[in-house]
Structure 1
Amino acid sequence: MHVTFRQLAIFNAVAEKLSFTEAANTLHLTQPAVSVQIKRLEDSVGLPLFEQLGKKVYLTGAGEELLHYSRNIFQELGEAKEIFAQMQDISRGTLSVSVATTASSFATRMISAFLKQYPAATIKLDVTNRGTLIRQLESNEKDIVIMGKPPEHMELVGEAFMKNPLVVIAPPDHPLAGKEGISINALQNEPFVVREPASGTRAALEKLFAWCHISPTIQVEIADNEAIKEAVAAGLGLSVVSRHTLELDLQAKRLVILDVEHFPIARNWYLAYRRGKRLSPIALAFKALVFEQAPKMAEALSP
């Protein structure tokens, strides 16, 4: 059955007026043009939709059925039009964002800045680990992901927007605390608290250690960045974390950054999404804000 929206619109008008002439006047068409479209619709359906008894027009049983479905179709189209209008309206749009746990401290500030500009917008935020971020990118679940270096094997757009320095942290009473120019070899006999193997921070650390031909002891493996800082503060070992996660810890003097050779490890934060993905207006607005806010954020987070 081949039916056009134009035919259904004309059918609805005739069904409402129960008059070909009045429907034609409402639609600014001629009565013969209306009749032709109804005839083509009936041919497509394979059943008569109207019957005329005397001067009056009535819907047939098939006409009643088609009217039910036709009204539903136009109701759904109307709802879709409203949804699309909302999606185009940044001020009331919805944005789904996933953020690496180590980026949450500054990412939430960026989201706060965005909501000050668009207070009626809705942000669905997920703070999670790298493995989950990659799975979400694979399944195209999120509009935008903020993470460390995106995996190269995936078809992604990954745009670096801010430096992400990785530093060595220790409790304030550690023997190396306060020393300058510490050789990386001094870490050989130090226990480390590290992220899970899938973590980008863990990968960067292991790459540097391999290059320097050292292999410090992995004392504890923890998948949560905040728990890692707690473990270091408790004296369980040293660790390597993003400098951007330490603002409050340094102010509270719970942790210190060690001045170790080859540190900080230079990495970047990336804004990532699937290649070919058409970003919605609200996603484009958020992306623009991220790049606008990044220099200010980097300055605020620097030592």
Structure 2
Amino acid sequence: MDLFVLETFLAVAEERSFSRAAARLHRTQPAVSQAIAKLESELGEVLFERSSRDGTLTDAGAVLRDYAAKLLNLRSEAESALTELRELHRGKLSLAANEYTCLYLLPLLDEYRRQNPRIKIAVRRELASRIPDDVLSHSVEIGIVSFRPEDPQVKSVVVYRDELQFVVAPGHPLAKREQVSIRELGTQNFIAHNVASPQRLKVVQAFKRHKTQLHMGVELPTIESIKRFVEMSNGVALVPGLTVQSEVENGSLIQIPIPELQLERKLRLIYRRQATLSHAARAFLEVVEAYAAKKGDPFCFQSERGI
């Protein structure tokens, strides 16, 4: 049933005149009459009393009038809802991140909320390895990962450059050193993350190249627990710099450079390459790009070519 034809029918019913309905709709009277005849033919019912000159409805016409009004009101509501989405007065931003990449998100989400306070934000915590699948399965629109996905259907944008940092407690014997070599770390007890990662493999390989034993005496499930355990003088750790900024600034952890171990880690926003992103998601990408331009390094916004 054509909504435009229903609009014509409702205009005749409300104006109680084919000519006044035509004037209201900026159409000719024959066009209005033709539209009503088409609707009556489609429904198999007479909608207006032909003997009446004031557009009196038949019983069938009276029933249809109520439903026509409801349908046209729904159309109006749908149009208003879509307008609100375009103008970011409603909507939802869905993201996936892990414990580490969530820290990158916080200042961006703060800026996004300032600009779009009515948009609901949902960040799903997920293992980094599963985030590309979440994006491809439409579970979330945007993911944040520290590796470049191999699937050509995934588009990636580098948004932050981080480095692995060696940290110790303030009372540790190495705390006052300006730098330390890998060979000096063979006797240290490392507090490690219990989830294997490409970054961890690079560390293991670096220690092997320097013929130095890597002792991972304790493995914990979160970066937060690793930091707290190091602060309690239970060992040392290698963690992303982003995760220890506040602790290094307040002195609860000491960061010491290792010249032979300078591992950069790039954070990326990823989304489906052929996706039509929601207005909320497109607005988020605009915030990320503007934030990078304003803050500069280590923030950035660089699209990577397809694989």
Question: TM-score w.r.t. structure 1 length?
Answer: 0.81
Encode CA deviations 1:134-158: one digit per residue, 9 max, x unaligned: 4542332334333322432362111
Cα separation, partners in 2 of 1:115 and 1:17, compared to 1, 3 Å: same
What is the rounded CA distance, in whole Å, between the counterparts of 1:13 and 1:91 in structure 2? 32
Of residues 30, 33, 40 in structure 2, which corresponds to 1:32?
30
The aligned residue for residue 76 of structure 2 is: 78
Q: Does the CA-based 8 Å contact 2:160-2:298 persist in structure 1?
A: no
Of residues 61, 65, 80 in structure 2, which corresponds to 1:63?
61
Code of the aligned partner of 2:169: P
1:4-43 mapped onto 2 (5 Å cutoff): 4-43=2-41
1:160-239 mapped onto 2 (5 Å cutoff): 160-197=158-195, 202-210=197-205, 212-213=207-208, 216-239=214-237
Cα RMSD (Å)? 3.0
Of residues 131, 145, 152 in structure 1, which corresponds to 2:150?
152
What is the rounded CA distance, in whole Å, between the counterparts of 1:153 and 1:221 in structure 2? 31
SS at match of 1:165: strand
Q: CA deviation at 1:98?
A: 4.0
1:252 paired with 2:250, answer yes
Name structure 1 gaps, 5 residues minimum. none
Encode CA deviations 1:187-234: one digit per residue, 9 max, x unaligned: 445433333426xxx331123313543663443433332222112212
Q: CA deviation at 1:246?
A: 1.4
SS at match of 2:234: coil
Code of the aligned partner of 2:18: F
Cα separation, partners in 2 of 1:74 and 1:185, compared to 1, 3 Å: farther
SS at match of 1:84: helix
Q: CA deviation at 1:92?
A: 6.4
Q: Does the CA-based 8 Å contact 1:170-1:257 persist in structure 2?
A: yes
Name structure 2 gaps, 5 residues minimum. 300-307
Percent identical: 27
Question: TM-score w.r.t. structure 2 length?
Answer: 0.80
Q: CA deviation at 1:256?
A: 1.6
Q: How many pairs does the alignment contain?
A: 294
Q: Does the CA-based 8 Å contact 2:98-2:125 persist in structure 1?
A: yes
Q: CA deviation at 1:90?
A: 4.3
- Comparing 175-184 with 27-36, which one deviates more in the overlay? 175-184
What is the rounded CA distance, in whole Å, between the counterparts of 2:173 and 2:110 in structure 1? 40
Of residues 105, 118, 125 in structure 2, which corresponds to 1:128?
125
SS at match of 2:72: helix
SS at match of 1:179: coil
Q: CA deviation at 1:286?
A: 2.8
- Comparing 257-266 with 131-140, which one deviates more in the overlay? 131-140
Q: Does the CA-based 8 Å contact 1:50-1:59 persist in structure 2?
A: yes
Q: Does the CA-based 8 Å contact 1:95-1:124 persist in structure 2?
A: yes
Q: Does the CA-based 8 Å contact 1:130-1:147 persist in structure 2?
A: no
